[in-house]
Amino acid sequence: MDLFDFAEQQAQQTERERYDELCRIINRNNELYYAKAQPEITDAEYDALYRELEQIEASHPDFVTPSSPTQRVGNDLTEGFRKITHPRPMLSIDDIFEHKPDKGETDAELIEFYTRLSSALGQTEPQVVIEPKIDGCAVTLMYRDGKLEYAATRGDGRTGDDITANISTIAAIPQQLPAGAPSVLEVRGEVYMPAADFDKLNEQRDAAGLPAFANPRNATAGSIKLLDTAEVATRPLAFLAHGLGMYEGAPLHTAEDFTQLLKDMGIPCNSPIIRAEGIEAVRQAVKDIDTLRRSLGYGTDGAVIKVADFARRESLGTTARAPRWAAAFKYLPEQKETILRAITIQVGRTGVLTPVAELEPVQLSGTTVSRATLHNQDEIERKDIRIGDTVLVEKSGEIIPSIVHVNKDKRPANAAPYSLFEAVGGVCPSCGEPISQEDGQVAWRCTNFTCTAQAAMRTTYFCKREALDVENLGGTVAEALVKNGYISTPLDLFKLSVEQLGALNLGTDDEVRRFGEKNATKALEALNRARALPLDRWLTAFGISSIGVTTSREVATYHRDLQQLAHSEYLSTLIRLEEDVNLYNTLNPKSRGNKGADKEALELQRRELKAAMEQQAEPYEKRGFLSLLPDGNNKLKLSNPLGSVSTRKLQAWFDSGAGQQVMSTLNELGINPISASYSETATASNGPLAGLTFVLTGALSRPRPEFERMITEAGGKATGSVTKKTSYLVAGEGGGSKRDKAVKLNVPIIDEETLLTLLKGEQA
């Protein structure tokens, strides 16, 4: 081997290592994107990695194996769903990319693709159709004799997850086709979420204390894989068909024939679809789609080009992962530099504080952009964004302006790191109450129940069925009440008259639409009934961070009424004991941190501290409200049935100015909700499930909150995770990790029929 041979071998080894690294990175991100709907990188970053992998494989075809990401379809198979084998493989589609002007023709790859088609088909100007590339989740619908037999995800291309129940919640998808339907019709398309509906969904999640979805595609992917169909029905999903799978019916010769069939069958289909012949017509159609897609109201990131004639499609065939007769042209987002002049803070309807970049106005994608969302403090820190910076701005998905990165070469010398907390002085700009960050969440939020910026959303939440169940006063009505100055907090609802509420205009000044006296009377009657609802329903209505329906029921078990809870010695004792237990455990003479310390002095401190804790705990231990137990390792453990976080959140809320204002208003209204489950022993000792703890998992016939309520009312507890103390795991279809853990811990696994038997007080 000479020096040149050795150098070539070393270069090949280096390229091979990069290839293996790319395969690992892409496979990991495929799993995050398809199976978990939690991508860590942008589509553009993924595309760059994938293109680099393709280039290495082109230079080294011997590297390629069947397991390469270029040879496989992304896998979205999920545990808990029945599997369906596709009668025809459900393939992906190859991407071709738009390039920046400084790299020659921006659509050079489009020209190359059309040239390949021409050569393969032996035609100078083959006819193609061009349509928007929807940024959604691929699914297939199988109709037999006009009836929807099943719906499935793409899965690994050959086997998909059965999501029929979830897809059936999408009203636009027909369950039964009209007369004349083909005997077999497999329609392939995309489930997606309209942009406006996606924004509303994130607002609702914020209100419920849940993390917001990153984008509509993630929200869609997560929604169609939920095991609770009732929850899926609350998600604003939509569907558009764009492809044909298995088919037995009258001959279909062209893409237009297929589109007409879809319309005749009442199946929503992709639009617009442009037929083009010749490269110049194709290039123009791709440009036209780029313009038209911005008005569609849902995410698109390219244009799909397909051979129009079905027979010619068959002649071209497919590769292992994609058809040779189609490609997706991925548009390059328009980007421009501008100056970030200031950062303002918006308080959303759910209390989230969102930093907004105030920009030097710049023309982008046909509109003037002067503002861009910065999302949260973490995003600002990650991109190191500072006031005065020169920033590169683009429209993400051609809808939302965002900052791509900072040009640090142009950064002013006095530009300082930005802190949202310091910028607002630690308080909400709307109401002046302290802001906080939830554990595991990046957003700063105001949790003040009386914050005027949140009045509409909090009123909607206040009136939800599981809260105070006030008919007709959520959503649009709540917004109109706030807009017209009728209320500034949810409790103002109790001060409304029939005349005021009946005259409320839900329309515009030009098109007046009154709420009406009949609706007003029903709403006020419901409010009057709400006065007598139990403590747990009111706690849910307050929307306190970390205090949901289940926790509210648990809290109510330990408190007689709202007044007692507002001044709860029990909560204070739990917090003091938790602090004392931590101190007691740190004083352990056997701890590494106490090496060399006076062991006798430590033991004396521990004995005195333990005696004080036992004295504090005794009255509550007798009533079953807590447990102070040794953990077998010379340490103590406090068993807090409410949980440490919930305990502290509750006390902080009642101690806050907002909480005190709520209590003052309720006193004026003469409202003091009473617990329906409080007892000296903390559990419904006469209930059939007294002393039992249940965990629910898998697909059940009813919403989980309904089962949790039934368990609680029967004296049992419904928790979220399986432990040694779990009495039963109630498992529907699926169950996944919870089922595995129950088996490992020898926790009995029962079905919902057995649970219903136990609820009746009968032996399982």
Residue type, 79: E
409: CB partners within 8 A, 6+ apart? none
Task: Give the span between the Cα atoms of 234 and 219, in whole angstroms.
Answer: 12
Residue 535 or 213, more confident: 535
Q: Span 70-90, mean pLDDT?
A: 80
Tell me, what's the pLDDT at 670? 95
Residue 270's pLDDT band (cuts 50, 70, 90): very high
CATH of domain 335-423: 2.40.50.140
Residue 133's pLDDT band (cuts 50, 70, 90): very high
**pLDDT beyond 50 at 683:** no
Q: What is the 3-state secondary structure of 362-431?
A: EEECCEEEEEEECCCHHHHHHHCCCCCCEEEEEEECCCEEEEEEEEHHHCCCCCCCCCHHHHCCCECCCC
Q: Span 216-238, mean pLDDT?
A: 87
Task: Give the span between the Cα atoms of 364 and 71, in whole angstroms.
Answer: 37
Residue 640's pLDDT band (cuts 50, 70, 90): confident
3-state helix, strand, coil in the chain (%, to 5): 40, 20, 40
Q: What value does the mean pLDDT of the chain take?
A: 85
Start-to-end CA span in the chain (Å): 77
Q: Span 129-136, mean pLDDT?
A: 95
Handedness of CA 572, 574, 580, 586 (dihedral sign): negative
Instruction: Give me the helices (H) in 242-356, please.
Output: 255-265, 279-292, 310-316
Q: Lowest mean pLDDT of 233-242, 515-524, 635-644, name the range.
A: 635-644
Cβ contact 467:540 at 8 Å: yes
CB atoms within 10 A of CB 713: 15
CB atoms within 10 A of CB 588: 17
**Whole-structure pTM value:** 0.50
Superfamily covering domain 95-330: DNA ligase/mRNA capping enzyme (3.30.470.30)
Q: Span 157-178, mean pLDDT?
A: 93
CB atoms within 10 A of CB 322: 18
Dump pLDDT digits (tens) for 311-342. Answer: 999 999 998 889 999 999 998 877 889 999 99
- Phi first, then psi, for residue 630 (nearest 5°) are -75, 145
Residue 50 or 362, more confident: 362
Task: Name which of 342, 333, 352, 300 is nearest 404 in CA terms.
Answer: 333
Task: Give the span between the Cα atoms of 341 and 418, in whole angstroms.
Answer: 13
Residue 253 or 592, more confident: 253
Cβ contact 528:469 at 8 Å: no
Task: Name which of 636, 634, 638, 612 is nearest 625 in CA terms.
Answer: 638
% of residues, the chain, pLDDT over 90: 45
Task: Name which of 78, 81, 80, 58 is nearest 70 in CA terms.
Answer: 58
Tell me, what's the pLDDT at 524? 94
**pLDDT beyond 60 at 448:** yes
**pLDDT beyond 80 at 101:** no
Residue 394 or 408, more confident: 408
Residue type, 391: V
CB atoms within 10 A of CB 410: 12
The sheet with strand 326-330 has its strands ordered as: 95-97, 326-330, 300-307, 127-134, 274-277
SS3 344: strand
Task: Give the span between the Cα atoms of 551 and 648, in whole angstroms.
Answer: 13
Task: Name which of 526, 558, 530 is nearest 542 in CA terms.
Answer: 530
Residue 682 or 516, more confident: 516
The helix (H) or strand (E) run that includes residue 58 is helix 43-59
Task: Name which of 499, 463, 460, 498 is nearest 479 in CA terms.
Answer: 460
Task: Name which of 70, 621, 642 is nearest 321 in CA terms.
Answer: 70
287 catalytic residue (yes or no)? no
CA–CA distances in Å: residue 29 to residues 18, 46, 186, 257, 332? 16, 8, 29, 38, 21
Task: Give the span between the Cα atoms of 418 and 380, in whole angstroms.
Answer: 8
Q: Span 552-571, mean pLDDT?
A: 93
**pLDDT beyond 90 at 130:** yes
Tell me, what's the pLDDT at 242? 97
Cβ contact 563:539 at 8 Å: no
Tell me, what's the pLDDT at 11? 42
What are the residue ranges spanned by the domains of the chain? 15-72, 95-330, 335-423, 447-530, 549-669, 693-759
Residue type, 425: G
**CATH value of 447-530 in 1.10.150.20, 2.60.40.10, 1.10.10.410, 3.30.70.600:** 1.10.150.20
Tell me, what's the pLDDT at 440? 64
Q: Span 452-459, mean pLDDT?
A: 84
From 83, 100, 103, 133, active-site residue? 133
Residue 390's pLDDT band (cuts 50, 70, 90): very high
Q: Lowest mean pLDDT of 304-313, 478-487, 490-499, name the range.
A: 478-487
**pLDDT beyond 50 at 684:** no
Which two three-digit tokens encode residue 547? 């205090």
Provide the β-strand partners of residue 327.
305
Dump pLDDT digits (tens) for 401-437. Answer: 788 889 999 999 999 999 999 999 999 998 898 998 8
58: CB partners within 8 A, 6+ apart? none
Specify the residue for token string 């105070």.
468
Record: fold of 693-759:
Rossmann fold (3.40.50)
The helix (H) or strand (E) run that includes residue 159 is strand 159-161
Q: Which of the 8 DSSP states describes residue 675?
A: -
Residue 554's pLDDT band (cuts 50, 70, 90): confident
Cβ contact 512:614 at 8 Å: no
Dump pLDDT digits (tens) for 45-61. Answer: 677 787 788 888 888 88
Provide the β-strand partners of residue 188.
140, 243
Dump pLDDT digits (tens) for 527-548. Answer: 999 999 999 999 999 988 778 8
Superfamily covering domain 15-72: Helix hairpin bin (1.10.287.610)
Handedness of CA 378, 384, 385, 391 (dihedral sign): negative
Task: Give the span between the Cα atoms of 523 and 334, in whole angstroms.
Answer: 50
Tell me, what's the pLDDT at 473? 86
420: CB partners within 8 A, 6+ apart? 345, 353, 355, 376, 377, 380, 444
**pLDDT beyond 80 at 207:** no
CB atoms within 10 A of CB 66: 7
Residue 302: CA atoms inside 13 Å, Cβ hemisphere, count?
A: 23
**pLDDT beyond 80 at 42:** no
Task: Give the span between the Cα atoms of 468 and 472, in whole angstroms.
Answer: 12
Specify the residue for token string 């609702």.
204
Task: Give the span between the Cα atoms of 128 and 274, in whole angstroms.
Answer: 8
Which two three-digit tokens encode residue 368? 């003037």
**pLDDT beyond 60 at 206:** no
Task: Name which of 335, 138, 294, 110 is nearest 220 in CA terms.
Answer: 138
Cβ contact 456:349 at 8 Å: yes
**pLDDT beyond 80 at 285:** yes
Rg over CA atoms, the chain? 31
